[in-house]
A and B are shown apart, each in its own frame.
Chain A
Amino acid sequence: MLLAMIVAAELPTCEVKRMCADRLARLRSGLDEQQVDAAVLLHGPNVTYATGFVPEAVDASHATYQRALAIVTEDRVRLHAHGRDAHEKTDGLDCEIGAPLWPELDDDTRAVRSALQEVAGDLAGRRIAVDSVTGAMERAGLYDDAQLVDANRVLGPARLIKTTDEVACIERSQFLTEWAMEPAREACVVGATRRDVAGVFLEALRGLGGDHNEIDPIFQPMPRSQRDGPYTASGSVAFPTGVGNPRYQAGDLVWVDSGHGCGGYASDYGRTWIVGREPSAAERSCFDRWLTITRACYDAIRPGVTLGDVARRAVAANGGTRPWLPYFYLAHGVGLESAEMPMIGTDLGEEFDDNFVLAPGMILVLEPVVWDDGVAGYRAEEIVVVTDDGNRILSSFPGYAPFDS
């Protein structure tokens, strides 16, 4: 842990005030470009982007009922937030703070309506960007006379390019996750269960100061052949199912995946572990291929290339077949959400990938999968940020134990 603290001191730091100001400026230029009069935001990551307030990492039902709401216009930003520590967390933010609102409740729509009118004025005939409209808001007719625009049109382009402060948050999240995974790897032994290992990880994460775990951590023992695993629509291996509490046996190949947030920005950790023994030659060759593919991606990623270019380099490095799970992607972005644009190799199709050009500040989580049916496979994740002349790897923990030792 002491070593972790020393390494942490070397990480780039995030200047919160500057980050908030930069984000708000980008959001406002999005409003301007889309000729939108106001944005009313109820989705946590969007509220964070607009105001700097980071809702607690709680179950979706809790997050939905006690949700934060942000109203943004050309010259005003208002935040309505819940939570025991909402006062402390909103202290110092450059936005107006309103009382908590309950947009899920029919008997709070009057308060929601007045908040909207106070900040944005009469909504009739105006263009309003929204990311969610609750049933209660719809029944109360809050937007009946407004013209609604999907908030993604405003926030999507803004959130795509990260500032150095946003990148620093991701880097710190990744650092915490990687260090907390080390005791979990040591706990992933014969006889332990998925929950035992997850408990060790989550306790270590807390010990390092990580209080924003965003997913039930995945430590899934994989079948050796697709035939032995759950059915999938694509005929490929199923991951991550999040089902059950398997007890590990000697030789289990365990795919690991988890993510945590710093300032709301997510990490994404992926590795493959083996329980109770060293990898076999066949397993090691899957890893070697994975490394070749990942290095080919590193070589390809720079401003000006398309997502399609990166995909083709990865396919070539894998001998002509696609090295990723068909229902996911070769790579995805990460930021205030654990999977966001840009995504490479999805069923949006090759034309989409060929029209999407990488630019500095975009983030890619590379997650190639090498599958050798009968042997199983290797999967790990690495985060890179596109820089002015190439890319920089944001993961700081060395190695792919037990495969590279």
Chain B
Amino acid sequence: MTESLTVRRRDRVLAAMARRGLDALVLGRADNICYASGMQGLWTAGTRPFGAGCVVIAETRRTHVLSTWDAGLPETMTRADLYPLTWNPQIMARHLAAIDGFAESTLIGVDEVSPSFERAAKRIAPLSDIATADDLMAEVRRVKFDEEIECIDAACKVAWAGADAALEAPRNPAGAAIAAMARAGTTVPSSAPTILRAGDKTIIDLGVLLNGYEGGLGGTFIDGRRRAPPPLVDACRGGAGHTDLADAADGPWLVRGLGLGFEHPVLDPDHGHREVLKAGMVLSVSDGHHRDVIAVTDGPPRILSTRPATHPDSHAPAR
């Protein structure tokens, strides 16, 4: 990930804040924090309670991140932009109050609502109102920069290293996949690995995060070859809506944004009826056991989860 990508992402966030009149944006979610600041914390599994992990100030155009050390600090930030870990809510309030511009905020956006944070924010910035801004972050992350698409492409290749290892492993295939993906670039999963063997078939679904960006694939393999993608994958083109996808789908399906993890839009049989796909979106497209990661264009989708050239993706016969 280059510094210029960090800057362009932050600028998108600042532009969206300006449209909503937000003076400050307080982010608690690891993926949003990474998007706005370029800082990636240590990966841990599962949901996290809301806390002020990152503060973006419109006036100064600076991002401030909760971190006790400067390891992993992007060039766009300085040590002065960090506030250290604390277990004490009063100390945390002092840290936030010390951020240039925070105390004068009149409108503060948050990516999750927390009654206790709301009370604290009122004390630090007495003139402020709190507004939801999870949708602001979802909106700016929807369409990817080209460099983000290349990051996702690289992550998909790592997932393939895992799939190939799983197919060849006589036992503990999930362990073999994880070890192979570690050698190929990452020890961070995005989703739980699925590897099921039934007769001559192997069902695989793997997802990883590489430098923050997600990659993955899923499918039914026979003799080491993945079945051809279902029509849903090709239907994911710019301008396509819910009906187009529902008509193309065979099995249980889910089409969702993919970038720094799980993102918008989300379409499945019951959701996303008003969504329209747009060139530049990157999607995880699942139909039954098949899953591809694709970049939407105005023509046929660019499939990022194609098997790397070292292992030609010679498809097994379609279902």
- Name A residues whose Cβ lies closer than 8 Å to a Cβ of B: 42-45, 55-67, 84, 102, 104-108, 130-139, 148, 150, 195-196, 198-200, 202-207, 211-218, 230-234, 238, 240-244, 327, 329, 338, 343, 346-349
Contact = CB atoms under 8 A, between A and B. Distances in A.
B287 interface: no
A148 B119 CA distance: 13
Interface in B185-235: 185-192, 194, 207, 209, 214
Nearest to B165: A203
B52 interface: no
B113 interface: yes
Contact of B135 (A58, A106, A198): A106
A105 B192 CA distance: 22
A327 B67 CA distance: 11
B91 interface: yes
Contact of B271 (A58, A105, A338, A348): A105
B263 interface: yes
B70 interface: yes
Nearest to B91: A347
17 contacts: A59-B45, A59-B209, A59-B262, A63-B47, A65-B266, A132-B49, A136-B135, A195-B182, A195-B186, A205-B175, A206-B172, A207-B175, A218-B42, A232-B69, A232-B84, A241-B69, A242-B42
B112 A202 contact: no
Contact of A135 (B111, B175, B186): B111
B69 A213 contact: no
Contacts of A216: 42-44, 187-188
The 6 closest A-B pairs by CB, nearest first: A61-B261, A199-B182, A242-B42, A206-B175, A135-B134, A135-B132
B175 A242 contact: no
A240 to B, nearest CB: 6
A395 B46 CA distance: 25
A9 B88 CA distance: 42
B115 A148 contact: yes
B68 A60 contact: no
B71 A58 contact: no
B172 A133 contact: no
- With most chain A CB atoms within 10 A of its CB, the pick from B43, B68, B185, B194 is B68
Contacts of B84: 232-234, 327
B86 interface: yes
A244 B72 CA distance: 8
Interface string B174-189: 1110111111011111
Nearest to B84: A233
A327 B68 contact: yes
Interface residues of B, number: 71
Contact of A349 (B47, B82, B88, B178): B88
Contacts of A230: 69-71
Contact of B188 (A59, A105, A244): A59
Nearest to B41: A242
A66 B262 contact: yes
Nearest to B85: A327
B49 A43 contact: yes
A215 B43 contact: yes
A205 B110 CA distance: 38
Contacts of A338: 44
Given A65-B262, A150-B115, A203-B176, A56 B192 contact: yes
A131 B49 contact: yes
Contacts of A214: 44-46
Given A241-B71, A346-B88, A135 B112 contact: yes
Contacts of A203: 172, 175-176, 178-179
B261 A60 contact: yes
Nearest to A107: B271
Given A135-B111, A231-B69, A198 B47 contact: no
Contact of A150 (B44, B116, B261): B116
A306 to B, nearest CB: 17
B251 to A, nearest CB: 13
A108 B268 CA distance: 12
B241 interface: no
A386 to B, nearest CB: 21
A343 B318 CA distance: 57
Contacts of B237: none
Contact of B191 (A59, A238, A327): A59
A211 B178 contact: no
B114 interface: yes
Interface in B24-82: 29-31, 40-50, 68-72, 79, 82
B209 to A, nearest CB: 6
B319 interface: no
A244 B187 CA distance: 12
Nearest to A346: B87
Contacts of B266: 65, 102, 105
A230 B71 CA distance: 6
A238 B69 CA distance: 6
Given A232-B69, A238-B71, A43 B115 contact: no
B82 A233 contact: yes
A192 to B, nearest CB: 11
B85 A215 contact: no
Contacts of B192: 56-58, 211
B274 interface: yes
A66 B266 CA distance: 11
Nearest to B82: A233
A351 B254 CA distance: 52
B123 interface: no
Contacts of A238: 68-69, 71
B132 A139 contact: yes
B38 to A, nearest CB: 12
Contacts of B172: 203, 206-207
A202 B187 contact: yes
Given A214-B45, A244-B72, 19 more contacts: A42-B47, A44-B47, A55-B46, A60-B261, A65-B262, A66-B262, A102-B271, A133-B112, A196-B182, A198-B182, A199-B179, A199-B182, A203-B172, A212-B45, A215-B45, A216-B43, A231-B70, A234-B68, A346-B88
